[in-house]
Amino acid sequence: MSFNEEEVLDESCCTTAANQRKSHHSTQTKKNLITRLNRIEGQIRGIKGLIEKDTYCDDVIHQIASTQSALNSVAKILLEGHLKSCVVERIQEGDLEVIDEVLVTIQKLIKK
């Protein structure tokens, strides 16, 4: 599945209503993310089944790595959209606190 950059740019991610930030992804982006998350959910169930069947540890670890990679892919899509819309909008509005917010988010993503 490929990610369409134009799709990210057409979204308005972080609008505020009653001081609550909320993301607004296009229908296609939501569909893409939900499809990916459903697949990941299936991978998790598969890993559980492998453990229940006493599958060789190395094989289970490979499946876990694959699942982590898929989850990272979802995070990358969300982060890209967030940077290209929400963060840009907030900086243009003079809200520079968003930079610290993004740095904390990135630190959480790369923490191992």
Per-residue pLDDT reduced to its tens digit, 43-79: 999 999 999 999 999 999 999 999 999 999 999 999 9
Model confidence, pTM: 0.78
Beta partners for residue 22, in sequence order? 15
Q: Where are the domains of the chain?
A: 27-110
pLDDT of residue 9: 43
CATH of domain 27-110: 1.20.58.1000
pLDDT tens-digit readout, 12-52: 556 555 667 777 788 899 999 999 999 999 999 999 999 99
| Residues 15 and 35 sit within 8 Å (Cβ to Cβ) | no
Neighbours of 77 (CB within 10 A): 19
